[in-house]
Amino acid sequence: MSPAMANLDYRTAGESHGRALIVLIEGMPAGVTLDPDRINAEMLRRQGGYGRGGRQKMEKDVVTLLSGVRRNVSIGSPIAIQIANKDFRIDEAAPVNRPRPGHADLAGSLKWLTTDCRETLERASARETAARVAAGATARCLLDVFDIQVVGFVRSIGPVEGTVDPQATPESLRAARDGNEVYCPDPTAAQQMIDAIKQAKRDGDTLGGVVEVQVHGLCPGIGSCMRWDRKLDGRVAQALMSIQAIKGVEIGVGFAAASLPGSRVHDEIDYDPSRRESPSLGFTRRSNNAGGLEGGMSNGQPIIVRAAMKPISTLLKGMDSVNLVTKKPERSDYERSDICAVPAAGVVAENVVAFEIARAFLEKFAGDTLTEVRAAWDHYLTASRNLGD
Q: Give the span between the Cα atoms of 155 and 183, in whole angstroms.
A: 9
User: Coil, strand, or helix at residue 39?
Assistant: helix
Instruction: Check if the beta carbon of residue 267 is closer than 8 Å to that of residue 249.
Output: no
Pinpoint the alpha helices (H) of 118-227: 118-124, 129-145, 170-177, 187-202
**Res 130: pLDDT:** 96
Domain 9-385 fold: Chorismate synthase, AroC fold (3.60.150)
Specify the amino acid at residue 45. R
Q: Give the span between the Cα atoms of 380 and 52, in whole angstroms.
A: 45
Write out residues in the chain with pLDDT < 50, as ranges: 1-6
Cα-only R_g, the chain:
22
**Res 2: pLDDT:** 42
Instruction: Check if the beta carbon of residue 180 is closer than 8 Å to that of residue 190.
Output: yes
Q: Give the span between the Cα atoms of 136 and 139, in whole angstroms.
A: 5
**Res 59: pLDDT:** 67
Specify the amino acid at residue 388. G
Enumerate the domain spans of the chain.
9-385
Strand ranges, E, within the chain: 9-13, 20-26, 63-67, 69-70, 73-74, 79-84, 149-157, 160-161, 209-216, 246-251, 269-271, 283-285, 293-294, 297-298, 303-309, 320-322, 329-331
